[in-house]
């Protein structure tokens, strides 16, 4: 062992050992308790960034800790390899997306190995490989036959200059990022998966996901957005077909003063034919982006259509408007507006001078004026004839009963969740396995013709998908009638690949089936770790896919991820690090300079996992310095002959103190890593212990024995975080068993016990003194000692003591005067 800490050499030796021993390659072992530790696989963007290092280190720490708990740990790694950046690189540098992607994967795999993560590389999965995506194509064709997928028109961002569909990210201030042209909404046919069929289960199961963070579950609940309401029909003047609307507030039905329909609604289109002004507004509505955030923040605009609906109870004429915030894709594409009791309706009514009436009053009897602000809460119905005096629930039932009786409406459960559009008009993705035949329509590609392989050797220009220019790709024969037919050139949303990769890690080498019985050994994932930015989309799609796999008989698990840890973003200059923003920090420079352990240590020390971490280069040095001190401390111990085994009966005061600190630290770090996932406080506790060891100067055999025990503990406790240096130092401390096969240390309760406690004394909640008491002192004795403290007496003075709160467990006394 070198006298100087040389991370380059230390880390190379540890890596060589793990590789030689194949420490992290695991096979199914029914006799052992499995622990599937997974982190969201990366997009191979070129090089690792700090966000990757953070999340992978968190996961590796948990995996190594669980391994030391005796679990049979699987930690795989792979590549979410389809996506837009590869196309962008192709446009900018003329490299085919496949070539660029594979090159990136090779480089990043090297970086991951250099960081010492304990992955089972034999299970590596790459989603752009046909042997991977063929199984999602296969599943898609099965779902097609089941009716779980369907095709319908939906809206995309259309760049009229580049003649291409843009991602929301590629639309900047309403314009195409390359052409600068105003983006338009365009309707095109696309494939959808029926996630709404599972809305109820996706919602209800959240209650059983005890290992998930509450905020993530809340976000998913709100996203699914279950609401109970009534679908009502309003007759329209001179129209045969009534206008159907969904409302969750039937109690406000008598407060409807206008109705609004989407620009694409048939009634609006009809009115536009006669009125050029309406036609112009509808045209304008199309010149907006598809993103919801853009729709919600844009100025609310509308125009009367010149026709009226008939109020189903009063029979009054209700004017019909077209409005840009009503979307054809949501519900019925029409809504009843109650400006007195809805925020958006109120703003629209105020802007256009539409009447606002009050039909609900507060339950507490207070007066409100709906002309000044809408009253949105539930209350008591007023100004509504037969419904007057009813509560929300009573009015709901009354309306539902009335309308169901005469067939003009019914109770309905509505979801905000929409079906998942999986079609992308892009090249670099998995081909959607469908063939269009003029006679037979859309036909799924038969099993024996799968996979539909994406040609990798293409020229990519950025104008449309190259697949559309490749007859050798799109020319096909209809599997049903054998006539010439055309293959689908759209590819899957990349969220499809990331919705089932976790199951495929169990059996990545199976070329005959999507999943096999090994899946049932490893799934579900015990611990899933990833960025909070995936709280909704990826995690909801993955949960949905798990249910599809289950219902196909491919898996027994209802939910894919038992425990979830969402790590905060690594920010630079206050924003998410991303290639687009050009604010990435390359971890490679730090690894080259300080080694992987320093980078891992710093990342875990800088902040708790759930918080956003603002990157700063300072502090990495401190982590390096600590490891050097750690190295030197173990060396100092080796300069002494190994101490004898600790005999607790023979220890003096300071020796007992150090030993107590050792065991308190073991207890704290076990809790911090095993339960709280606060690696930063675990590291701080170990730093304190090392500081205590370095201050401790006692060359006696007993003294050396407690130091040896402390150093053993430090090496074991830090080993999940800094595995390379720990591997080497463990050997240096004279242990024959390599550290990777060691168990996690146990805290000795007896060694942790204290015989004297320091009690804090407050007067009126302010700290005024501290007293030392025996650990077994009773409340009376503690109170007397507290009252006797000089500074405490000064503050109590002549005042009458009204109350004394004695909390021995909290080590606190509060005297109230």
| Residue list 16-55, contact with RNA (CB under 7 A) | 43
Region 261-300 residues binding RNA, contact defined as CB under 7 A: 290-293, 296-297
> Residue 802 Cβ, how far from RNA at the closest point, in Å?
8
Residue 111 sits in the site that holds RNA (CB under 7 A): no
- Contact window for RNA (CB under 7 A) among 304-312, 532-540, 589-597, 743-751: 532-540
CB of 123 to RNA, least distance (A): 19
One residue of 407, 574, 582, 699 binding RNA per CB under 7 A:
574
If one asks whether residue 625 binds RNA (CB under 7 A), the answer comes out as yes
Burial of 449 (0-12, 13-18, 19+ CB in 10 A): middle
Q: Point out which span in 51-59, 467-475, 521-529, 566-574 binds RNA (CB under 7 A).
A: 566-574
- Residues 605, 631, 677, 744: which binds RNA (CB under 7 A)? 605
Pick 403 or 460: Cβ nearer RNA? 460
737 lies in the binding site for RNA (CB under 7 A): no
Decide whether 47 or 449 has the Cβ nearer to RNA. 47
Residues 405-424 binding RNA (CB under 7 A) are 416-418, 420-421, 423-424
677 binds RNA (CB under 7 A): no
- Cβ(88)–Cβ(458) under 8 Å? no
> Using the rule CB under 7 A, is 635 a contact of RNA?
no
> What track of x and - describes contact with RNA for positions 461 through 500 (by CB under 7 A)?
--------------------------------xxx--x--
> Distance between CA 217 and CA 214 in Å, rounded?
5
- In DSSP terms, 202 is beta-bridged to none
- Burial letters for 66-104: b for 16+ Cβ neighbours within 10 Å, e otherwise? bbbeebbbbbbbbbbbbbbbbbbbbeeeeebbbebbbeb
Which residue lies nearer to RNA by CB, 82 or 140?
Answer: 82
Min dist CB 110 to RNA, Å, is: 20
Residue among 483 and 811 whose Cβ is closer to RNA:
811
Instruction: Report the site for RNA in 421-450 (rule: CB under 7 A).
Output: 421, 423-426
Residue whose pair of structure tokens reads 């039905």 in the numeric block: 253
Who contacts 78 (Cβ-Cβ below 8 Å, separation ≥6)?
41, 123, 124, 125, 126, 127, 501, 505
Say how many CA atoms lie within 13 Å of 28 toward its Cβ. Answer: 12
Residue 775: burial class (beta carbons within 10 Å; 0-12, 13-18, 19+): exposed
Among 20, 93, 145, 695, binds RNA (CB under 7 A): 695
Q: Which is nearer to RNA, 411 or 576 (CB)?
A: 576
Task: Give the whole-angstrom CA distance, residue 7 versus residue 266.
Answer: 70
Binding of residue 535 to RNA (CB under 7 A): yes
In the complex, minimum distance from the CB of residue 615 to RNA, in angstroms, rounded to a whole number: 9
Long-range contacts of 448-453 (CB under 8 A, 24+ apart): 449/479, 450/134, 450/137, 450/138, 450/141, 451/130, 451/131, 451/133, 451/134, 451/137, 452/137, 452/487, 453/130
Helix or strand run (H / E) with residue 408: none
- Other beta carbons less than 10 A from residue 105's beta carbon: 18
In angstroms, what is the minimal distance from the CB of 723 to RNA? 20
Taking CB under 7 A as the rule, does residue 157 contact RNA?
yes
- At its nearest, how many Å lie between RNA and the CB of residue 51? 10
If one asks whether residue 613 binds RNA (CB under 7 A), the answer comes out as: yes
Q: Which is nearer to RNA, 150 or 521 (CB)?
A: 150
Q: Establish if 766 lies at the interface with RNA (CB under 7 A).
A: yes
CA pair distance 427, 204, nearest whole angstrom: 37
- For 658, the 3-state DSSP assignment is helix
Q: How many chain residues are in contact with RNA, going by CB under 7 A?
A: 108
Three-class SS of residue 623? Answer: helix
Kindly write down the DSSP assignment for every residue of 165-223, as one continuous string. EE-GGGEETTEETTT-PBPEEEEEEEEEE-GGGGHHHHHHGGGG-TBS-HHHHHHHHHH
Residues 215-254 that bind RNA (CB under 7 A): 215, 218-219, 222-223, 225
């Amino acid at each position: 062992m070198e006298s100087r800490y040389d991370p380059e050499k230390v880390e190379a030796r540890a890596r060589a050992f793990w590789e030689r021993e194949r420490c992290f390659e695991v096979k199914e072992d029914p006799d052992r308790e499995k622990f599937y530790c997974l982190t969201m696989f990366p997009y191979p963007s070129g090089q690792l960034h700090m966000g990757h290092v953070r999340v992978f280190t968190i996961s590796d720490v948990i995996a190594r800790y669980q391994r030391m708990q005796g679990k049979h740990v699987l930690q795989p790694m792979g590549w979410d390899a389809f996506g837009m950046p590869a196309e962008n690189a192709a446009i900018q540098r003329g490299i085919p997306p496949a070539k660029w992607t594979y090159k990136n994967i090779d480089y990043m795999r090297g970086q991951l190995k250099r960081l010492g993560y304990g992955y089972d590389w034999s299970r590596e999965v790459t989603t752009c490989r046909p042997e991977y995506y063929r199984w999602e194509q296969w599943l898609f064709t099965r779902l097609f036959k089941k009716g779980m997928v369907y095709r319908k028109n939906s809206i995309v961002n259309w760049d009229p200059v580049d003649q291409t569909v843009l991602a929301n990210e590629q639309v900047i201030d309403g314009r195409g990022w390359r052409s600068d042209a105003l983006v338009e909404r365009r309707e095109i046919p696309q494939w959808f998966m029926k996630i709404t069929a599972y809305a109820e289960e996706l919602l209800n199961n959240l209650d059983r996901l005890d290992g998930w963070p509450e905020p993530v579950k809340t976000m998913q609940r709100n996203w699914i957005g279950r609401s109970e309401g009534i679908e009502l029909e309003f007759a329209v003047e001179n129209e045969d077909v009534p206008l159907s609307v969904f409302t969750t507030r039937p109690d406000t039905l008598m407060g409807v003063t206008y109705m609004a329909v989407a620009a694409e609604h048939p009634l609006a289109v009809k009115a536009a034919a006669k009125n050029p002004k309406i036609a112009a507004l509808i045209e304008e509505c199309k010149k907006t982006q598809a993103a919801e955030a853009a729709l919600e923040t844009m100025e609310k605009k509308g125009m009367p259509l010149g026709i009226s609906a008939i109020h189903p109870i009063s029979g009054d004429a209700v004017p019909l408007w077209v409005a840009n915030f009503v979307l054809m894709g949501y519900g019925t594409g029409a809504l009843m507006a109650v400006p007195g009791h809805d925020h958006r309706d109120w703003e629209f009514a105020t802007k256009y001078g539409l009447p606002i009436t009050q039909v609900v009053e507060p339950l507490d009897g207070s007066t409100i004026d709906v002309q000044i602000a809408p009253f949105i809460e539930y209350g008591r119905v007023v100004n509504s004839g037969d419904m007057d005096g009813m509560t929300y629930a009573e009015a709901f039932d009354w309306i539902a009963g009335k309308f169901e009786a005469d067939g003009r409406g019914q109770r309905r459960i509505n979801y905000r969740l929409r079906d998942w559009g999986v079609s992308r008009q892009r090249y670099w993705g998995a081909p959607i396995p469908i063939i269009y035949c003029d006679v037979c329509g859309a036909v799924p590609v038969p099993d024996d013709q799968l996979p539909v392989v994406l040609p990798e050797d293409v020229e990519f220009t950025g104008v449309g998908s190259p697949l559309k220019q490749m007859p050798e790709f799109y020319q096909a024969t209809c599997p049903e009638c054998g006539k010439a037919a055309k293959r689908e050139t759209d590819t899957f949303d990349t969220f499809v690949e990331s919705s089932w990769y976790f199951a495929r890690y169990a059996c990545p080498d199976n070329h005959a089936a999507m999943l096999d019985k090994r899946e049932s050994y490893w799934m579900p994932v015990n611990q899933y770790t990833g960025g909070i930015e995936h709280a909704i989309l990826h995690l909801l799609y993955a949960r949905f896919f798990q249910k599809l796999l289950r219902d196909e008989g491919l898996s027994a698990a209802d939910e894919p991820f038992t425990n979830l840890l969402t790590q905060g973003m690594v920010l630079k200059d206050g924003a998410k690090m991303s290639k687009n923003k050009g604010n990435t920090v390359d971890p490679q420079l730090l690894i080259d300079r300080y080694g992987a352990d320093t980078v891992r240590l710093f990342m875990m020390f800088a902040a708790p996992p759930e918080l956003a971490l603002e990157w700063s280069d300072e502090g990495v040095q401190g982590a390096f310095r600590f490891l050097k001190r750690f190295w030197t401390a173990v060396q100092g111990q080796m300069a002494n002959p190994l101490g004898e085994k600790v005999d607790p009966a023979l220890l003096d005061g300071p020796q007992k103190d150090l030993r107590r600190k050792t065991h308190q630290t073991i207890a704290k770090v076990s809790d911090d890593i095993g339960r709280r996932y606060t690696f930063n406080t675990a590291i701080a506790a170990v730093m304190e212990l090392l500081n205590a060891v370095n201050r401790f100067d006692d060359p006696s055999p007993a003294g050396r024995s407690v130091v040896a025990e402390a150093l053993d503990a430090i090496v074991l406790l830090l080993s999940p975080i800094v595995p390379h240096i720990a591997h080497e130092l463990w050997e240096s401390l004279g242990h024959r068993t390599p550290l990777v096969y060691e168990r996690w240390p146990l805290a000795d309760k007896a060694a942790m016990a204290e015989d004297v406690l320091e009690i804090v004394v407050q007067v009126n909640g302010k700290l005024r003194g501290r007293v030392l008491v025996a650990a077994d002192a009773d409340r009376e004795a503690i109170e007397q000692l507290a009252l006797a403290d000089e500074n405490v007496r000064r503050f109590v003075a002549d005042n009458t003591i009204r109350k004394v709160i004695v909390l021995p467990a909290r080590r606190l006394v509060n005297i109230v005067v």
